[in-house]
């Protein structure tokens, strides 16, 4: 009811969306962080339907938000990276397939419940070696499968230029890997492990551009 009588520009730090966007045409939002939340009913189990809903909301966001909202500080969506353009957010959190991550120029990407094949891991390393991304670029891929994340690190070990780096050791691996980029930057690849609130262990492989130490 309040929204129906609002007009002009409304500044919002954090915006979480559960239902559809239905703002009056004379109201615009200036937002920093957007999260598209999964509904709590059985609808969340239908991935295709959920993906179509998220795609529609992303389009609607472009209409509802002011131009200076973009790039957002962060955008979290309940679908895949393929629905996000590189210009929409500095930090993106998505789920499942990281399709397009190899060539994306988003500064920070975190993929939950990630499924990615070994070729995509190798392509990401190769692309970053050639494209010289900025210091601080950081992509992370989370999975519940320790076997899967160890397969990823096996591919990293075989990638051209890999150098074992024991300073990148973690509770799951005695070392990580460093790839030279140029005289100022390196690509560090390392593993992480943590427990969620439900006690489930999650494993993450990180790709990060750091200054030469």
Q: Where are the domains of the chain?
A: 29-34+43-211
Q: Is residue 21 over pLDDT 80?
A: no
Q: pTM of the full predicted structure? A: 0.87
Pair of tokens at residue 61: 């966001």
pLDDT of residue 78: 83
Per-residue pLDDT tens digits for 89-112: 999 999 888 888 988 999 999 999
Rounded Cα gap, residues 142 and 26, in angstroms? 41
Distance CA 121, CA 124 (A): 5
Does the pLDDT value for residue 1 go beyond 50? no
pLDDT mean over 105-121: 89
Cβ neighbours around 6 below 10 Å, total: 14
Mean pLDDT over the full length of the chain? 86
Buried b vs exposed e over 88-126: b needs ≥16 C-beta within 10 Å? bbebbbbbbbbebbbebebbbbbbbebebeeebbbbbbe
- Residue predicted with more confidence, 197 or 15: 15
With a cut of 80, say whether residue 80 has pLDDT above it: yes
Residue 20: phi and psi, rounded to 5, are: -80, 155
| Predicted confidence (pLDDT) per residue in 153-177, tens digit | 899 999 999 999 999 999 889 999 9
């Amino acid at each position: 009811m309040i929204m129906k009588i609002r007009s002009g520009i409304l500044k919002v730090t954090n915006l979480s969306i559960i239902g559809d966007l239905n703002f009056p045409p004379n109201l615009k939002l200036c937002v920093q962080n957007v999260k598209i939340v999964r509904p709590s009913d059985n609808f969340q189990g239908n991935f295709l339907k959920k993906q179509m809903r998220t795609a529609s909301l992303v389009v609607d966001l472009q209409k509802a938000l002011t131009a200076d909202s973009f790039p957002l500080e962060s955008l979290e969506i309940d679908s895949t990276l393929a629905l996000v353009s590189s210009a929409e957010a500095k930090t993106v959190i998505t789920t499942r397939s990281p399709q397009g991550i190899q060539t994306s120029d988003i500064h920070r990407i975190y993929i939950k419940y990630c499924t990615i094949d070994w070729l995509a891991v190798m392509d990401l390393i190769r692309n970053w070696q050639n494209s010289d991304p900025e210091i601080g670029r950081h992509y992370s891929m989370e999975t519940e499968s320790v076997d899967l994340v160890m397969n990823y690190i096996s591919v990293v070990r075989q990638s051209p230029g890999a150098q074992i780096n024991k300073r990148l050791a973690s509770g799951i691996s005695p070392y990580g890997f460093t790839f030279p980029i140029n005289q100022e930057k390196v690509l560090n690849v390392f593993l992480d492990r943590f427990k969620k609130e439900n006690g489930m262990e999650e494993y993450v492989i990180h790709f990060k551009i750091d200054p030469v130490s």
